[in-house]
Amino acid sequence: MKCQEALARLVAKTKGDESEAAKALREFESRRAQGEDVIVFPLRGRWLVGSAQQLAQVARDASAAAKDQALATAKMRRNDWPQ
pLDDT in tens, 27-82: 999 999 999 999 999 998 899 999 999 999 999 999 999 998 998 888 888 876 55
Kindly provide the b/e burial profile for residues 9-21, where b requires at least 16 CB atoms within 10 angstroms of the residue's own CB: eebbeeeeeebbb
Give domain limits for the chain: 5-80
Give 68's strand partners: none
pTM: 0.74
pLDDT at 83: 54
DSSP for 1-56 reads ----HHHHHHHHHHH-TTSHHHHHHHHHHHHHHTT---EEEEETTEEEEE-HHHHH
